[in-house]
A and B are shown apart, each in its own frame.
Chain A
Amino acid sequence: MEGIDKLQSQDLKQIARRLRSHIVKMVGEAGSGHPGGSLSAVEILATLYFNVMKVDPENPDWPDRDRFILSKGHAAPALYAALAEKGYFPTEKLITLRKLGSPLQGHPDRKSVPGVEVSTGSLGHGLAVANGMALAARLDNRNYNVYVLLGDGEIQEGMVWEAAMAAAHYKLDNLIAIVDHNHLQIDGKISEVMSPEPVAEKFKAFGWSVQTIDGHDFDQIQTAIENAKKVQGKPSVIIAETVKGKGISFMENEADWHGKAPKSEELNKALAELDGQENGQS
């Protein structure tokens, strides 16, 4: 099972466009949720699920699968969309997001959705859980990789740095963290609320291998992950420079769209923009 059939970046773009469309529809239909940080992570999720990770939607508990942890759990719509597109469950389910009785809880619940590895939503947990999985892989002689996506506001949590220290200490080279560096959190710009900068230098000082890339460029994401997989004796982090709300003009770089649902007019506008992108107008 070494490697998977690689998609062309044109196909990935189509997938990304579908994920964005699912995200705005789901959140719009739910009437609440987090579009901004879901949209900034779309290219990262599309690359991971469709071009990198060894996973089998038919067999979600396959012991040798690669693991993905959405530590910034509020981006659940992006994860659910990727899992549905990958075939873990029908895409029709997506519009039940946040409704009473739906498996698609406001924040990911591992008990109710196949493919969700860890229940998240409380920021700061994911990296430590990823460390645990990476340590277990070593104990069991399995060669899966563990991927974890962190928010750039999330890394203000002290626990993230406790885990960063531990990952380097235990030389977890089967661990690849990605920071969705969209420069915004709820109360505004991360630089104004509580600056975690310089992020790359901090991880370097903690003993990590660090790369900084454009988090919306498929080739750069792919290359950075391939590089990270080759690193030995230390964990890797990819600082992905992204735009919060990416792909929907009026949501881009607006802190307000962190946790707000589009009204039906806004939803139509968003979907029209995505259609335009499909027809190559953007």
Chain B
Amino acid sequence: MAKIATREAYGKALVELGRQNKDIVVLDADLSKSTKTALFAKEFPERFFNMGIAEQNLMCTAAGLALSGKIPFASTFAVFATGRAFEQIRNGIAYPQVNVKIAATHSGLTVGEDGASHQAIEDIALMRVLPNMTVVVPADAEETRQAVQAVADYHGPVYLRLGRPAVETVYENNYKFQIGKADQLRKGQDAAIIACGIMVNEALVAAEELASEGINVMVVNMSTIKPIDREAVLAAAATGAIVTAEEHTIMGGLGSAVAEVLATEKPVPMAMVGIGDTFGESGKPAELMEKYGLTASNIKTKVKKLLEKKI
């Protein structure tokens, strides 16, 4: 299967959307070639607004467009969208519940060589804590394509987290993405891996290898981090052990969201694969994944350790 970047799928999906709905407008902050909104800009120049290097202005302009009936997609790198413009998002989009879609690319460590200043490893946490905000992290190109359509149809603020490098295909087009609905990709009763984004594929690889060792783990793609699919978390908890996996700090992201459900409803032994209390650094995406433990083999190790604790 060809590898495709989720940002690439996003750019194409935007063009599709633009053709269907004339209220779709797109804004960027001097990164349209990288975020792939340039594809939309080319086809619909009159509905594309480049705000220049001004992310705060980007978010509030998008809010104004949304308050006037448009469906704006605002794009830039994840670190600048959620970081520079955090308060504009909080008070200008989330609190007044404005219909803005923040589609941020270059999330996580796989930004690679640009280094820590450009690697958003806390964006899920920042967006997840905002009331009214929906947070979606697609695992591959097909899920991205469907998620773009779904978030456009949904009325309300959404954070869509996209990546830079080409990623493995997880889904064929017989899959149906729904906001708020996790997807069980693999059945298993010994433990469950709940993953999002590029870690879904790593989870599948880990599960396959564990199966050859006689350990059967469930794999769940939690592509909507907020609102989290509680039923899916509880179903996973029925295995008695849960490992979460995300390309994000373990503080406040997917792992934390899952832990919040487990702690209050069904505590089971749990482990988290993610980035510790550290910034990233420059390097090739694959090297960084390895160094920071964002790998199938680390997931496997965590599952096995956890099984020892399982009651």
Contact = CB atoms under 8 A, between A and B. Distances in A.
A interacts with B:
yes
Count class of interface residues, chain A = 20 to 34
Nearest to B38: A187
Contact of B50 (A33, A102, A187): A187
B57 interface: yes
Nearest to A102: B282
B291 interface: yes
Contacts of A105: 115-117, 281-282
Interface string A99-133: 11110111101000000000111111000000000
B114 interface: yes
B50 A106 contact: no
Interface residues of B, number: 32
B30 interface: yes
Contact of A99 (B31, B52, B282): B282
Interface stretch (A2-10, A35-43, A154-162, A165-173): A154-162
A30 interface: yes
Q: Which of B28, B33, B52 has the most CB of A within 10 A?
A: B52
B129 interface: no
Interface in B192-244: none
A121 B30 CA distance: 15
A72 to B, nearest CB: 10
Contacts of B288: 100
Contacts of A247: none
Nearest to A112: B281
Nearest to A98: B113
B306 to A, nearest CB: 29
Contacts of B281: 100, 105
A215 interface: no
B34 interface: yes
B73 interface: no
A114 B282 CA distance: 18
19 contacts: A32-B114, A33-B113, A105-B115, A105-B281, A105-B282, A107-B117, A107-B118, A120-B117, A121-B118, A122-B79, A122-B83, A122-B117, A124-B84, A157-B54, A186-B33, A187-B30, A190-B52, A193-B50, A194-B54
Across chains A and B, which 5 residue pairs bring their CB atoms closest together, nearest first? A194-B52, A121-B117, A100-B283, A106-B115, A156-B52
Interface of A: 30-33, 73, 98-102, 104-107, 109, 119-124, 153-154, 156-158, 185-187, 190, 193-194, 196
Given A32-B112, A157-B54, 17 more contacts: A33-B113, A98-B115, A99-B282, A99-B283, A106-B114, A107-B115, A109-B115, A122-B83, A122-B84, A153-B30, A185-B52, A186-B30, A186-B34, A187-B32, A187-B33, A193-B30, A193-B52
